[in-house]
Amino acid sequence: MVETNTFEGVTQIHLSRELNGEPLYWVAVYLVDGLLIDTGCAYTSEELALSLEGRDIRAVVNTHFHEDHCGGNREILYRHDVPLYAHPDSIPLIAERPFLYPYQVMVWGYPEPTKAQPIPSVIETEHYRFEVMETPGHSLGHVCLVELSRGWCFSGDIFAREKMKFIRPEEDMKTTVESMRKLIDLPCERLVLFTSIGRIVEDGRTALASCIENLEQLALRVKELHGRGATVEGMVEEIFGGEHAFCELTNNQYSTKNLVRSLLRMGYI
């Protein structure tokens, strides 16, 4: 399933596997001035390639190695003889078949291994100059692309929503907050976030600051409960009213317990 929109000359392509006529989970990729940022999942790779027919594609970037960001690499590179760039930490993971849980196989599928090149510090297109920022926290080898003259930030998965309720076990909230602060401090008048879930956030600094504030308040609450001897499960119940439904659906990968554990490591304790 494919939906295409434009914003300030940037083409946003929404992609989702379709099941019984309904989308399972939307992800977004972006095409701007010949630069394709992420390629979605394996199930939508042919649809993405068809939607890009006749388009000028000169380079591809994976913001990180997760299967919903690199799953279309093989199909795009087959049709377009262009370089594929990724952070050095992501390159070996993009080049091998990943381990996936059943929910990942159902929603996104296995990406075909592809060979990426180390991403340069700056990617210049015909009209724009994209600075590459290392923004770990969500994953190893995560990068954002920033066009300072336009105030554009293609933010991958470093930000999705202001109030976080669940994360994967490998995510680190302390590092995520540090990465978000780097984005807030960018020397540009405005900051528009082009997110991988399809949100285009025109007041990106306010959204990032709100997310940071919420995480810090949660960390302080976790510290208080930890000091009173509460368990992680007890904190989940006390603060969030119980575990999120995604926990069972994702084999305990996306869970509120993971968020609480990461908050315990944020340095407020």
pLDDT at 267 over 80: no
Q: Nearest 10 degrees: CA dihedral of 75, 145, 57, 93?
A: -20
For 89-111, the pLDDT digits (tens) are 999 999 999 999 999 999 999 99
Band of residue 269 on the pLDDT scale cut at 50, 70, 90: very low
Fold of domain 2-264: Metallo-beta-lactamase; Chain A (3.60.15)
DSSP 44-108: GHHHHHHHTTT----EEE-SS--HHHHTTHHHHHHHS---EEE-TTTHHHHTSPPP--HHHHHHT
pLDDT of residue 139: 96
Mean pLDDT of the chain: 95
pLDDT at 179: 98
Parse the chain into domains and list their residue ranges: 2-264
pLDDT grade for 2, boundaries at 50, 70 and 90? very high
Determine the average pLDDT of the residues in 241-256: 92
Residue 268 confidence (pLDDT): 53
Instruction: Indicate the pLDDT class of residue 266, thresholds 50, 70 and 90.
Output: confident
**pLDDT bracket for residue 21 (50, 70, 90):** confident
